[in-house]
Chain A
Amino acid sequence: MTERLFEGADWDFHTLQRITDACEELAKNDLGLDVYPNQIEVITAEQMLDAYSSVGMPLFYKHWSFGKHFAFHEASYRKGLMGLAYEIVINSSPCISYLMEENTATMQTLVIAHAAFGHNHFFKNNYLFKQWTDADGILDYLDFAKNYVATCEERYGRVEVERTLDAAHALMSHGIYRYPGKKKLDLRAEEKRAGRRRQHEEEVFNDLWRTVPKGAAKSRSALSIERRRKLLGLPQENLLYFLEKSAPRLAPWQRELLRIVRHIAQYFYPQSQTKVMNEGTATYVHYRILSKLHEQGRITDGNFLEFLQSHTNVVFQPEFDDPRFSGFNPYALGFAMMQDIERIVTRPEDEDREWFPDIAGKNDVMGVLRDVWANYRDESFIGQFLSPKLMRHFRMFHLHDDPEERAGIRVDAIHDERGFRRVRRELARQHDVGFIDANIEVVDVDLSGDRRLILHHHVIKGSQLNETDAKRVLQHLADLWTYDVSLIEVDANDKVLREYVVSPRPIPAAA
C-alpha cells in the first residue's frame, strides 16, 4: 500500500509539499491539466480579511472604499455571521493560492487541488482569460498602479486623487471592452509606457510654449456629424476609455488613473463571465483528485469523509422556496454540469445521443472537458451543455414576471419536453453579462455647442436605471467630463423613456 500523505488533521510545510506533489502528479498524468507554476501561501484570518477588502489581490492602491469593505467584513466575521473562504486564488503567473492556516490537512488538500490545479488550469486555458488578462504582468502592474496612485497623492493631494478614483470606481462596470480588440493586453508594457510618457513630458517641457499666442480657433462647424463621431470613436460603450481619451479638461495623471481603473476592471471581466465554469472546473478537479487519492489509499477513510462533508456543503443547491436560496449556486451548477458531461461522454442514454451527438459516447472525458473549459463562457456553456437530465434533476422552471400582468407571475416553461430548450435558453441568458449590465454608451458630444456629453441607455425589457444611483454616477461622470452630461433612456423603438441631465460640481478651491 502506498504511503499516507498525512494522518489526522495536523499539517506542516512538509505535508503541504507532499500534498502538492501528489496533486500535481494526478493533475498532470490523470487529468492532463496544464497549469501556471504554483505558489502557495499560508495566511491568517486577518490576512484573509485584508485580501477580501482589496478584491483578493495581494497588493492594491489605497482607497477608502477598501477600508469600508474591510470594516464591514470584519464586523460580520467577528459576529460569526460570515465564514471566511478556505482559499483565494489569483490569476497570475505564478499562480498564487492563499490557504488559511486554520484549515485541517484534508481541507488543505481540497483547497490545493481546487485552487492550485482547478482554477489554475482554467485561468491558463480559457479563451476569455487568454484574451483579456495578462497573468504574467498583473502583479507588476498592480505594483505600478499602487505606486502611481501614491505618487499622485503626493503631488496633487489626496483629495483630488480620491475624487478621481471615486468617479472612476463608479464607472468601473462601464470601463471594459466587451469585444476583443486589436491587440492583447500587455500590462508590463503599460507600466513602461507610463514611465516613458512622463519622461518625454519632462524632456520636451518648455515654458516658452505657454507664451506663444494662440491663433484664432478653427471653425469646427465644418465637421459633419458623421466625421465628428468617427473622430471621437463614437458610439463608445467603454465610458472610462472615452473619458481617458476625450475628456477635455483632465490632467494627464487623471487620465492615467482612469486607465488604471479600466485595466483592473478589464482584468476581472472574464471572472464575472465564467463563475459557473470556473468553480465547476475547480470543484470537478478537486473531486477527481481527492477520490483518486482515497482510492490509492493515500488519504484515510476518515479524511475522505471529512472531505465529502465539505464538498457536499459547497455544492449544495437550496430550492427556490428555501430561505437560504439566493440564486443558483455556481459551484453546484458547475460541478453538476461537469459530472453530467462525464456521464454523457461515458454512459450516454438515447436522449443524450439526440441532444449531444458530438460528445455522447466519445469516451475521452478529459479531452472533452478540456476542450469545453478552454472554449466556452458561462452563457455559451449552459446554452450548449445543460442536459435535459440535469434540468429534471434540479427541477428547473422558468418564471416570467411582467408587472403589467394582473394575474401574477407566469410559469413560462418547466422541465418537460416542451420546456427544455426554453428553460436552457433563459438560464444561459441569466449568465450573460450582456444582459446583466445596463447597456449604456456615449453616442454624441455637442462639440460646437455647450460640449454636452450625450449617453444612451438601451432599455431591455423595460428595466430602467435605479434613479438615485444613476444620478450619483452621472454626477461623477459630469465631474470628470467637466461639462453637462445627459443620459437618455430609450427603448427598442427609440422611444425616449426618461432623460437625466447633470452638471458638474464646481471644483473646490483647494485645487
Chain B
Amino acid sequence: MAIHIIDRRLNPGGKSLENRQRFLRRAKSLVQGAVKKTSQDRDIKDVLEGGEVTIPLDGMHEPRFRREGGTRDMVLPGNKKFIEGDYLQRSGQGSAKNSGPGEGDSEDAFRFVLSRDEFVDLFLDDLELPDLAKRKIAQTESEGIQRAGYTTSGSPANISVSRTVQLALARRIALRRPRKSEIEELEAEIAACTDEDVRAELVEKLEMLKAKSKRIPFIDPLDIRYRRFETVPRPVAQAVMFCLMDVSGSMSEHMKDLAKRFYMLLYVFLKRRYKHVEIVFIRHTDRAEEVDEQTFFYGPASGGTLVSSALQAMYEIVRERFNPTDWNIYAAQASDGDNSYSDGELTGMLLTDKILPVCQFFAYLEVGESGGSAFDLSDSSLWTLYERMRNSGAPLSMRKVSERSEIFPVFHDLFQRRETAQEKVAP
C-alpha cells in the first residue's frame, strides 16, 4: 500500500485570514471601542504596532441549547475516604469542582491580538476630513486617455497608416517582392527582344516575377498596426493639509510632545485614508520654514514667536503650488497660544483675508501644561483672537489639550465623520 507523505509547510499561510476578517467585521464596533481604549494609554508608535485588545464575548456568542440545574449524577475518580451514604457539604471542597462538564459560561471577555494594519484601520475608521463641496470630487478619479505605442489589434478607426506602410515596406524588401519598375523594365525588354530563345527565357522570368508579386501582397494583414491607448487615472481635485506648529521657546517639552502626537495622528490618518493628500509641514518661531516630516517631528528648534510668519508662509505656498480652485486646502495649527502682542493684528488679518477664504477647514489646537485646567488660566492671546473670529462666523475649529490622554478624543472629535444627508457617500 502506497503511503503518501506530503510536506505542507510551504503551503501559503493565512488560510484563515478571511474568516478572521469576517470576524473582525462582525465584531467591529466592539473591537473599535477596545482599540480606542487601548490606544489612550499608549505611545503613538506603539499604537501603530497593533497589539492585544480585549472585547466582551457577549456580542460574539454562539448560542446552543444547553441544559443546567436539576439533579445531577456524576462518577468521579479518586475516592479516598467516602463510603456509600456519606454527604458532602455543597460549599465545601467536594462540590466546588462539580461545575458540570461542557457548560462553559465562564468567559466574559475575549482577548486576541490585532495586527498593525487591522489596528490602525479600526482606529481611524470613523474619521474623515471634514469637508464641504469638494470632497466628493477629491475622491473620484477621472480616467484620462494616453497614447501608448502600437498594437496588432484594435478598431479600424485607430489604424496607424504610417506605421502599417512602414512595416509593409520592410516586409516587401525582406521578401524581395519585385518592384513595379522591375516588371515594366522586363516587359519593355521583351518587347524589344528579337531572339526567340532569349525572349522565351525573359517571358518565363516575367511570369515568375508576376507570380511572386502576387504571392507577396503589397499590404499584408500582418503589417497592420493600430494606435494603442491606455487609460490613466487622473485625480480631478486634490487635497493638501498644512501642519503649522509652533516650536518657539515658550513651548515646553510637554507641549511639543502633545503637538507632535497630534500631528503624528493626523499624518497617519491622512496617509492611510487618502490617496491624493499632500502634506506640507511648516514650523515656526519668529520666522517660519517649510520642513520635511523628519525635521518636523524630530528636529530641534527654538526662538521667539510670530504666528503670522507661519500663516504668511502657508499663504505663499498656497499661491505658488496649490491653486485653491483645484485643491481642497486644510490646515491644522498647534501652539501654546502665545504670540507677540504686536503680531495679533497681522495674524488676524492674514487669517480672515487670505487663509480662511481658501481653506475647507482650519483646526486650531492649543496645547497647555500638564495639569493646567482651562478654568484657572485666562485665555491666551491667540485663543482670544481666534475665538473672536469664530464668533464672527469664521470656519474655525478650536480645541484645548493639556494631557496626553486627551489627544485621541480631541482628534476624533475634530475629524469625526459628520452625518449630513449629502455626505452619505459609500466609502
Interface on A for B, CB 8 Å cutoff? 13, 16-17, 20-21, 24, 37-44, 46-47, 49-50, 53-54, 62-68, 70-72, 74-75, 78, 94, 98, 101, 162, 166, 169-170, 172-174, 317-322, 325-328, 394-404, 407-416, 418-419, 423, 426-427, 429-430, 436-438, 440, 457, 459-466, 468-470, 472-473, 476
* Complex contact B83–A411 (CB within 8 A): yes
In the complex the two chains form, what is the Cα distance from A413 to B80 in whole Å?
Answer: 13
Which of these, A66, A396, A409, A470, contacts B65 with CB under 8 Å? A470
* Complex contact B65–A174 (CB within 8 A): yes
* Residues of chain A within 8 A of B7, CB atoms compared: 13, 41-42
* Residues of chain A within 8 A of B20, CB atoms compared: 67, 70-71
* Residues of chain A within 8 A of B6, CB atoms compared: 39-42
Question: What is the minimal beta-carbon distance from B18 to any residue of chain A, in angstroms?
Answer: 5
* Complex contact B101–A401 (CB within 8 A): no
Question: What is the minimal beta-carbon distance from A82 to any residue of chain B, in angstroms?
Answer: 13
Q: Which residues of B4-44 are within 8 A (CB) of A?
A: 4-9, 11, 13, 15-16, 18-27
* Complex contact A396–B98 (CB within 8 A): no
* Complex contact B84–A419 (CB within 8 A): yes
* Complex contact A40–B3 (CB within 8 A): yes
The answer to whether B215 has its CB under 8 Å from any CB of chain A is no
Question: What is the minimal beta-carbon distance from A481 to any residue of chain B, in angstroms?
Answer: 16
* Complex contact B68–A408 (CB within 8 A): no
The answer to whether B95 has its CB under 8 Å from any CB of chain A is yes
Question: What is the minimal beta-carbon distance from A262 to any residue of chain B, in angstroms?
Answer: 15
Nearest B residue to A16 by beta-carbon distance?
A: B5
Main secondary structure of the interface of A (DSSP, over half): mixed
* Complex contact A459–B70 (CB within 8 A): yes
Given A64-B22, A71-B23, A476-B63, are A411 and B82 also a contact pair (CB < 8 Å)?
Answer: yes
Q: Which residues of B61-83 are within 8 A (CB) of A?
A: 61-80, 82-83
* Complex contact B78–A43 (CB within 8 A): no
In the complex the two chains form, what is the Cα distance from A326 to B78 in whole Å?
Answer: 13
The answer to whether B88 has its CB under 8 Å from any CB of chain A is yes
Which of these, A65, A320, A423, contacts B78 with CB under 8 Å? A320
Given A75-B52, A395-B79, A397-B79, are A170 and B64 also a contact pair (CB < 8 Å)?
Answer: yes
In the complex the two chains form, what is the Cα distance from A81 to B79 in whole Å?
Answer: 29
Which of these, B21, B61, B73, contacts A399 with CB under 8 Å? B73
Given A40-B6, A42-B8, A317-B77, are A327 and B101 also a contact pair (CB < 8 Å)?
Answer: yes
* Complex contact A416–B84 (CB within 8 A): yes
Which of these, B64, B71, B89, contacts A461 with CB under 8 Å? B71
* Complex contact B71–A53 (CB within 8 A): no
Q: A24-B1, A67-B21 are in contact. List 17 more A-B contacts (CB 8 A).
A: A17-B5, A39-B6, A62-B18, A62-B22, A64-B25, A72-B112, A166-B62, A169-B62, A170-B62, A173-B64, A174-B65, A401-B98, A414-B82, A436-B102, A462-B70, A465-B67, A476-B63
Given A37-B1, A47-B8, are A53 and B82 also a contact pair (CB < 8 Å)?
Answer: no
* Residues of chain A within 8 A of B87, CB atoms compared: 407-411
* Complex contact B86–A410 (CB within 8 A): yes
* Residues of chain A within 8 A of B22, CB atoms compared: 62-64, 67, 162
Which of these, B64, B74, B112, contacts A469 with CB under 8 Å? B64
Main secondary structure of the interface of B (DSSP, over half): loop
* Complex contact B71–A411 (CB within 8 A): no
In the complex the two chains form, what is the Cα distance from A322 to B94 in whole Å?
Answer: 11
In the complex the two chains form, what is the Cα distance from A64 to B22 in whole Å?
Answer: 5
Given A44-B9, A319-B78, are A94 and B4 also a contact pair (CB < 8 Å)?
Answer: yes
* Complex contact B15–A409 (CB within 8 A): no
* Complex contact A397–B82 (CB within 8 A): yes
The answer to whether B97 has its CB under 8 Å from any CB of chain A is yes
* Residues of chain B within 8 A of A16, CB atoms compared: 5
Question: What is the minimal beta-carbon distance from B65 to any residue of chain A, in angstroms?
Answer: 5
* Complex contact A320–B97 (CB within 8 A): yes
In the complex the two chains form, what is the Cα distance from A220 to B79 in whole Å?
Answer: 62
Interface on B for A, CB 8 Å cutoff? 1-9, 11, 13, 15-16, 18-27, 52, 60-80, 82-90, 92-95, 97-98, 101-103, 105, 110-113
In the complex the two chains form, what is the Cα distance from A399 to B95 in whole Å?
Answer: 10
Question: What is the minimal beta-carbon distance from A443 to any residue of chain B, in angstroms?
Answer: 16
Chain A CB count within 10 A is highest, among B22, B71, B77, B83, for B77
* Residues of chain B within 8 A of A466, CB atoms compared: 66-68, 103, 105
Given A401-B73, A423-B75, are A17 and B68 also a contact pair (CB < 8 Å)?
Answer: no
Question: What is the minimal beta-carbon distance from A213 to any residue of chain B, in angstroms?
Answer: 42
| Cβ contacts A to B, 9 pairs, < 8 Å | A37-B2, A64-B23, A398-B74, A400-B72, A401-B74, A404-B71, A408-B92, A408-B95, A464-B68
* Complex contact A397–B76 (CB within 8 A): yes
* Residues of chain A within 8 A of B24, CB atoms compared: 67
Which of these, B60, B65, B69, B105, contacts A68 with CB under 8 Å? B60
* Complex contact A38–B73 (CB within 8 A): no
* Complex contact B16–A53 (CB within 8 A): yes
* Complex contact B2–A396 (CB within 8 A): no
In the complex the two chains form, what is the Cα distance from A37 to B1 in whole Å?
Answer: 7
Question: What is the minimal beta-carbon distance from A88 to any residue of chain B, in angstroms?
Answer: 12
* Residues of chain B within 8 A of A24, CB atoms compared: 1, 3
In the complex the two chains form, what is the Cα distance from A326 to B100 in whole Å?
Answer: 9
In the complex the two chains form, what is the Cα distance from A423 to B76 in whole Å?
Answer: 9
Nearest B residue to A43 by beta-carbon distance?
A: B8
* Residues of chain B within 8 A of A321, CB atoms compared: 78, 93-94, 97
* Complex contact A409–B112 (CB within 8 A): no
Question: What is the minimal beta-carbon distance from B203 to any residue of chain A, in angstroms?
Answer: 70
* Residues of chain B within 8 A of A440, CB atoms compared: 65
* Residues of chain B within 8 A of A44, CB atoms compared: 9, 13
Chain B CB count within 10 A is highest, among A16, A50, A172, A423, for A50
Given A395-B80, A409-B98, are A70 and B88 also a contact pair (CB < 8 Å)?
Answer: no
In the complex the two chains form, what is the Cα distance from A427 to B70 in whole Å?
Answer: 18
Given A42-B5, A320-B97, A403-B71, are A68 and B23 also a contact pair (CB < 8 Å)?
Answer: yes
The 3 tightest CB contacts between A and B, nearest first, are A319-B78, A463-B70, A67-B23
In the complex the two chains form, what is the Cα distance from A319 to B80 in whole Å?
Answer: 10
* Complex contact B76–A320 (CB within 8 A): yes
In the complex the two chains form, what is the Cα distance from A318 to B88 in whole Å?
Answer: 20
In the complex the two chains form, what is the Cα distance from A13 to B5 in whole Å?
Answer: 8
Question: What is the minimal beta-carbon distance from B21 to any residue of chain A, in angstroms?
Answer: 7
* Complex contact B72–A319 (CB within 8 A): no
* Residues of chain A within 8 A of B76, CB atoms compared: 320, 325, 396-397, 399
* Complex contact B19–A38 (CB within 8 A): no
Question: What is the minimal beta-carbon distance from A240 to any residue of chain B, in angstroms?
Answer: 13
Question: What is the minimal beta-carbon distance from B204 to any residue of chain A, in angstroms?
Answer: 68
* Complex contact A400–B71 (CB within 8 A): yes
Which of these, A39, A65, A400, A472, contacts B73 with CB under 8 Å? A400
